Every structure is written in C-alpha cells, then in structure tokens.
Structure 1
Amino acid sequence: MRNDRHLSVAGLTAAIDNGEIDTVVVAFTDMQGRLQGKRLHGAYFRDFVLDHGTEGCNYLLGVDVDMNTVDGYAITSWERGYGDMEFVLDLDTIRLLPHHPATAMIQCDLVWPGPALEPVVQSPRAILTAQRERAAGLGYTAVAGTELEFIVFEDSYEAAHDLGYRDLTPANQYNVDYSIVGTSRIEPLLREIRNATYAAGLDTEGAKGECNLGQHEIGFLYNDVLVTADNHSVYKTMAKEIAAQRGQSITFMAKYDAREGNSCHIHLSLRGPSGETVFWDDDTHGRTAVYDHFIAGVLATMADLTLLYAPNINSYKRFAAGSFAPTTIAWGEDNRTCAVRLVGHGAGARLENRVPGGDVNPYLALAAMLAGGLHGVEQELPLEPAFEGNAYTSTDRPEVPKTLRDARDRFARSAIARSCFGDEVVDHYVNMADVELAAYDAAVTDWELKRGFERL
C-alpha cells in the first residue's frame, strides 16, 4: 500500500464481504486527463474482476473532449472495429472514495487483449511509466508535486450549462490571493475536499486563495511521479464531484476569462537509488552538474514538448505578459516570470515548470519533463546563465509557442520527441491536436458574432 489510508487486497475483499463496500470504481486516465471506467458491484468485482480484470472500448483513447469518434488514430477506428482494451488493475492504488457511500477505486493500466498483454503505449500512464523506467535505468527516482488551481462558482454544473457558461457567480468577488477572510467564504467546500482527498490516500497539505475571482488551490505533498499523477487525476475528479454534490461547480480551464488563468505548476527533482539528494551538493552548498544538465534539457526541449504541457486551444490564452504564466523559455532563481523557476536548497532543491495550466494531463506533462531533463543529463547539456529581471520583456530568449498549431508542428517534427516517446505516441498526440484544431477552426465564436453580426 502507498500509505495506511489505502486498502490492501485483503482489506478490500473483507470490506466487500461485510458490506462496508458495495461499489468498486475501476478507472484509467484518458488523453484529456479524465478518469474513465466502470462502477462495479462489490461482489462481482471480488468474484470475477479482481483476478481477471475487465475491458473497455479502445475508442476511449481516440475521441475528442465531447466523446465523438474521430478519424486519424492508428489504434482505433471504424475500420478496426472499435475493439476492446483490457484494464489491468494496479493493486497499489486501492483507495476509498469517502464522498460516495461504500465506494472504493482502483486505477488501471491498459493492455491489448491476448496472451502477450502488450501495453497500450499511447496511454498516458504508459507514457509516464516508460520515462520513469528510463530514469530508473540511469539510477534515478523522480519525485514531483503538482499545484493545481481552479475557479469555484456558486452555480451548479447544470445551471452553468444552461447559462452557456457565461454570467456565472464566482465564489469570491475580489482577489483572494493568500486571503484568510476570502478563503473562509468557501471554507466548507475547501475543507470537504481537503479531508475527503486525505481519507482517499492523498497527502493533503493545505489550501490558499488565488488571484482570479473565486480562484483557489489545494496543495499535496510531493511523491513518486507516478503516484503524483495518479493522485492528481483522483483529486481533480473528486473536487468536481464534491462541488457538484454541494450545488456548486469548479473549472480547471487554463483560461476561463480575461483575468488570471488556472495554472498547474509542476515541481520535480531526482533522487538516487537509496533516496539520496541528486540535485544539491552539501559540500559546495550549490547545484550539482546533474541538476544543471537536467534544467538545460527541460529548457532545450520545452518548445518541442509544449503540446504535452498545453494540450488545448484554450491553453495558449493563458500565456500573457504580466499574468504569472510564462511567455519566455528561460530559467531563474525564484523568478516567477520565467518558464522554469528554481526553488529550495539541500534536499528541497527542485525546479518548478510554470508552463502547464489547469487543463494539463499530469502523466503527459511529467513524462515530458522527465524526457527533456534526462535528455539533458545524457547529453550533458550546458546550462545557460540564469535570467535576471522581468522575463516578459526579454528579447534574447526563445518564447513559449503561442498557439496549439505552433506546438503541434514542433512536436510533430521533433526528433527528440520521437526518440523519447516513439513514433506511435507522437503520431497519436499530433492527431489529437489536429482534431482539436479542426473543431476550433469550424466553430463560430462569440467574439466573431459580436464584431460582425451588425457592423460588418
């Protein structure tokens, strides 16, 4: 078990036997970062699924955000018959879902049917696992934490839908960044999310207000990168469900309105085989060569891998000067204007990637950071001097890609991306971007209607 709040197999089956648990959710994280799966009756899960797994349609890794089947994916199509994938239970992830009665959850890996049990390499969890194993092959364990922001509205999800997601009532009417009074306004919701996620096996740290109206963040303790990604997906789902139960709604959109967007800053560092610090030299009281190479690799690959940090059209609306979201690919010492910010010292030395937004898929973003950083370590890339001052005004550093199309093109032709992830993965996520771009290009926006209906 990952901690004493998770359940063992014996603990789960005993709880099913005595009626404490009657529902087991089996789920995986899809391309869009959403948990997808099934709710199974406890006795059926115990008697049939625990030892043999279950299945789901492979279209779940080949749909758009509206769950429409779309063309262009090699692994799933009408021509291939939309067959199944097998859900392989990860028994380290058994957890209670305390906000639902008598319910537990298990997260899954995906494999193709057949005796070989070949992994579905396009699955986000498989992509991160491959980079995690790559790090292990070099003698490193990667640990990370994600800081996921959201905006709370007093409207239910149903009411928000009926209003076209406009003119909603935010939970706060002013900037509540670090405000105790402001966060007290919605402490009942924040407290319920904190306590429920802790009971579900997450190591909850605390909550704080943010800058946009009704914007907040709940933080969790760092952990192994796979554990962090698993927990991130569970937390995001639980937060939405708990808000819905209270008649409220939460959005993790990267950019909901013209104010500050929702960020997902990702902190990451490496450890040695026995957990020892790799990024800091206690004798010199400074960074190690490995740390510098890792940072250099993240920077060198950032433009190529931005598609995995910013996967949607809306993601790129967040990158604006003076917004606390980066526009310049640079690193700095505790400098929040840079794409990469270094914080901490000693065992706490780590880099913070400020590019991802609240809409990010944590498995893909962590895989991209590891792929880039390990590329820097393997190639011993030199680290450029730290940026000092306001990186928004920089004229000599490269910029974060400005649009999804720019990021898509960089990813598609990136030799590093294809070397790290393989052609199957790159082509799959390039097609995901193509689907998003085609849908957006075909849409008529409110902006166009307001400007053109009468005046053009």
Structure 2
Amino acid sequence: MPAAGHPRNERMLTLDTLREQIELGEIDTVILGFTDMQGRLQGKLLHARFFLDTVVEHGTEGCNYLLAVDVDMNTVDGYAISSWEKGYGDMEFVPDWNTIRRLPHQEKTALVQCDLAWTDGEDATVSPRSILKRQAERAAAHGWNAFTGTELEFVVYDNSYEDAFDRAYRGLTPANQYNVDYSLLGSSRVEPLLRSIRNAMYEAGLNPESAKGECNFGQHEIAFLYDDVVTTADNHSVYKLSAKQIAAQTGKSITFMAKPNEREGNSCHIHMSLRGENGELVFWDAATGSRTPLYDHFIAGILATMRDFTLFYAPNINSYKRFAEGSFAPTAIAWGIDNRTCSLRLVGHGAGARVENRLPGGDVNPYLALAAMLAGGLYGIEHELPLQPETAGNAYTAGAPRVPSTLREAREALAASAIAREVFGDDVVDHYLNYADVELAAFDAAVTDWELRRGFERL
C-alpha cells in the first residue's frame, strides 16, 4: 500500500483522510492529473470506489501521445517517445500522495497530481514535472532549496466560453471597460468572481495573498504566497484550471493568453530565491547588508542562458507579441534594482531578497519556466559567472542584447545551445524543439484574419 504522504498544510489531504472521506460519501470523484507540454492539467476522473479498490494499489495509465500532441490534441510527427510506428502505447500515472486536495468548486471531488513513467517504470524524463524536479534535485545536491512565486495575469470577459468560441473570439465584452490597475472600484466590479477563485483556492490548499486590477480592459491578477519550486508549479496548474472552471460556472470566460489583443498582454512574473537546507540565507549577507557573490552568480547565469532558454519562458507564437518597448514586458537581457524595464528585476533585501523574471507570459508552462530559470541560475553559480553591470535607466533603449522576438528565433537559440543540452539532456531539448517545429508549421500554414483583411479585396 502506498505511503499516506505528508500534506503541505492542514487544508491538504493525506491518503488516509481521502480514504475516510470517500467511505463517508464526502468524496465520490478522484481526479488524477498531470501537466502536459502546453501547461494544461490533463488526466482522468475516477469513481472514488474504483480509485480505492484498484488505482491506489495498481495504478492507472494513459496514452503516451499525451506528451506528443499539439494544442488541438492532434497526433504529430517527430517525437522520439510516441508515434504510429511505435504504436502509441501507454505511460503510467504515478500519484504524488503529497498533492491530494479537495476542489471545492467541483462537487465531492478531490485531485491528485501525478508524475509520469513508462510502463517499465522508468521516469518520463520529458514530462514538465520531471524536468523541474531534476533541477530542484541539482539545487539540493548543493545544499539549497529553491523558492518561487508566480504572478499570473488574466483577462475576464462577460461572454461564456461557448459564446466566445461562436464569435471566433472576436468582439467579446471585457469585464472592465477601462484601465483598472490598482483600482478598487474596478476590482469590485469583478469581485464576485475574484472572491470565488481566491476562496476556492484557499480551500484547495493554496495560499492566496491578494487580487488587483491590471492595465488591459478586464485584466486582473491574483497573487499567491511563494513556496518551493515544485509546489508552486503544482499550485499554478491547479489555479489556472480552476479559475477557468469557476469563470465558466458563472457564464464568464478567462484567458491567460500572453497577448489576447493589441493592448497590454498577460504576464507571469516569476520571483525566485535560494535558501540553505535549514532556511539559511544564501542570497544576502546580513553583516554587510548586501547581495552575496552567490546571488550575483545566480543572476548572471539566468542572464547568460536567457536567449537559449526563451522557448521555455515564451512557448507559443503569441508569446512574442508581448515583447514591445514601453509595454512593461521586457525586450532587453538586462538586470536592474527595482527596474521594471529590465528582464530581471532585483527586489527585496535580507530574507526577502529575490530576483523577478519578467519574461514569461500568462501562457507559460510553470514547470518548464521554473526549470529554465533555476537551471540557468545554478549554471551561473557552478561556473562562477561574473554579473554584468546594472542597467539603471530605461532598458528598452540601453542597447542591451535582446530577447528573441519570434518563436522561430527562440527555437534556433535552443537548438544551438550547448548549455541546454548539458543541464536538461538531449532528450528534453530535442523533444521541445519538435514542439516548436509543430507550432511553427501550423502557424505557417494558417491563413489569418490579418491576411484576409489586407488582401481579400485590396490586393
């Protein structure tokens, strides 16, 4: 029988308490979920009795194409792990019993998040959660724990998802008609939805901090307390799915697209720091009141690998529409102290000292982005990379190196990266290069609204 696990907080469940709630009829559905390449929580909804009688001891499987499809779930060529020639076999769902939680917005439902393994028991190394866990293990080998928080923005529309689909996602009604950045009035217009999401996520074991309006029409952000990197990625995936589900239950829709229209895009700023095994500060020297050399090496490593790893920070065609001057989305590979024009912004001091990565958008896969950021930082420490001078002014016009401006450019940077193959492995790099190739081929074959408007009559 599997170990009961250790709940992350008192709102999470152990396997024993889940069993008790199933026996009492308080839980009748158990979801086994994993995060796929596109950052979506996928899986199975199991009858609770079947879960107890069979799955707890013997496990369950899913088709291995789940790590080898496009966003429309089409089977595509080019993946080493899965193909028609290989017969599209199974992979094992491996429950992490430390992740059991109730989903209060889904009646009598609990969720268990999973790792993935091949049928011979070997880890599915290209799975996003496995990629991040390996980087966390690299940090642990040095005696460090990595902590992070993700700040995920979204736009709320008063249209249902079904209505938005029927309208081809055009002409939708945003929940706010003007810039509501920090506006209490603007937030109150959407507060019934924001409150439902915050409270549901608290009951599900997350730790909400606050909600605030943002710049785009109907744009908002709910912030959560930082945690270790794997827990934060797990929570991010649960929150993103749940926010959409709760919005749908109220006849609204939410998008996390990086750039849903020509106004401000949705960001996902990532804050990260390292601590010692017992919580010791390693980024800050209390005696001098300043950053440690280790912290500087960490920052230098993220900067040195930023172009190479951009595909993991900006994984979609649309991701690159955010990167515009004067947009609060970065274009320069630069760092600054409390400077929001840089891709890396240093904030806090003492125990609060951390680096904010402003590159990722709301469409990011949290496991891949956190893995890239941690891998880059560790590379900088291991190679004692020197930190380039601070950018104190406007990074948009500072002449600093630029982040890739298209998915194709990011794909080529990853393909040419010896560092990526060193820290992630050939299998991971090749897998996600094919992911980019699939997206690029699909986009290159598409006839867009922009082309029709410009060319149908006038050309």
Using the size of structure 1 for normalisation, the TM-score is: 0.99
Name the SS of the counterpart of 1:315 in structure 2: helix
CA distance in 1, matches of 2:58, 2:153: 38
CA distance in 1, matches of 2:408, 2:160: 33
| 1:50 shift after superposition | 1.0
CA distance in 2, matches of 1:186, 1:422: 45
Instruction: Give the aligned partner of residue 374 of structure 1.
Output: 378
Correspondence list, 1:174-323, <5 A: 174-323=178-327
Q: 334, 337, 362: which one pairs with 1:333?
A: 337
Partner amino acid for 2:243?
Answer: A
| 1:343 shift after superposition | 0.3
Cα displacement string for residues 213-259 of structure 1 (whole angstroms, at most 9, x for unaligned residues):
00000000000000000000000000000000000000000000110
CA distance in 1, matches of 2:257, 2:154: 8
CA distance in 1, matches of 2:241, 2:277: 33
CA distance in 2, matches of 1:106, 1:360: 22
Correspondence list, 1:85-100, <5 A: 85-100=91-106
Instruction: Spell out structure 1 runs of 4+ moving beyond 6 A.
Output: none
CA distance in 2, matches of 1:372, 1:100: 38
Segments of structure 2 that go 5 or more residues without pairing to the other structure are 1-6
1:168 aligns to 2:172 (yes or no): yes
| 1:377 shift after superposition | 0.1
CA distance in 1, matches of 2:294, 2:207: 28
Name the SS of the counterpart of 1:185 in structure 2: helix
CA distance in 1, matches of 2:57, 2:194: 37
Cα displacement string for residues 183-223 of structure 1 (whole angstroms, at most 9, x for unaligned residues):
00010000000000000000111100000000000000000
Instruction: Give the aligned partner of residue 431 of structure 1.
Output: 434
Q: 406, 409, 414: which one pairs with 1:406?
A: 409
CA distance in 1, matches of 2:281, 2:201: 29
Q: 110, 117, 124: which one pairs with 1:104?
A: 110
Instruction: Give the aligned partner of residue 35 of structure 1.
Output: 41
1:121 aligns to 2:110 (yes or no): no
CA distance in 1, matches of 2:284, 2:50: 50
Partner amino acid for 2:439?
Answer: E
1:364 aligns to 2:383 (yes or no): no
Cα displacement string for residues 136-194 of structure 1 (whole angstroms, at most 9, x for unaligned residues):
00111000000000000000000000000000000000000000000000100000000
CA distance in 2, matches of 1:402, 1:101: 44
| Number of residue equivalences | 453
CA distance in 2, matches of 1:148, 1:129: 21
CA distance in 2, matches of 1:143, 1:319: 26
Instruction: Give the aligned partner of residue 442 of structure 1.
Output: 445
Name the SS of the counterpart of 1:425 in structure 2: helix
| 1:51 shift after superposition | 1.6
Partner amino acid for 1:172?
Answer: N
Partner amino acid for 2:339?
Answer: N
| 1:277 shift after superposition | 1.1
Name the SS of the counterpart of 2:431 in structure 1: helix
Partner amino acid for 1:25?
Answer: I
| 1:53 shift after superposition | 1.4
Partner amino acid for 2:402?
Answer: E
CA distance in 1, matches of 2:218, 2:27: 35
Correspondence list, 1:147-158, <5 A: 147-158=151-162
Cα displacement string for residues 365-391 of structure 1 (whole angstroms, at most 9, x for unaligned residues):
000001100000000000011101111
| 1:121 shift after superposition | 0.3
1:72 aligns to 2:78 (yes or no): yes
CA distance in 1, matches of 2:204, 2:256: 21
Q: 18, 22, 30: which one pairs with 1:24?
A: 30
CA distance in 1, matches of 2:398, 2:318: 24
Partner amino acid for 1:206?
Answer: S
Partner amino acid for 1:133?
Answer: E
Name the SS of the counterpart of 1:186 in structure 2: helix
Segments of structure 1 that go 5 or more residues without pairing to the other structure are none
CA distance in 2, matches of 1:45, 1:107: 14
Name the SS of the counterpart of 1:87 in structure 2: strand
| 1:52 shift after superposition | 1.9
CA distance in 1, matches of 2:359, 2:40: 20
CA RMSD of aligned residues (A): 0.4
Q: 145, 148, 151: which one pairs with 1:144?
A: 148
Instruction: Give the aligned partner of residue 52 of structure 1.
Output: 58
Partner amino acid for 1:385?
Answer: P
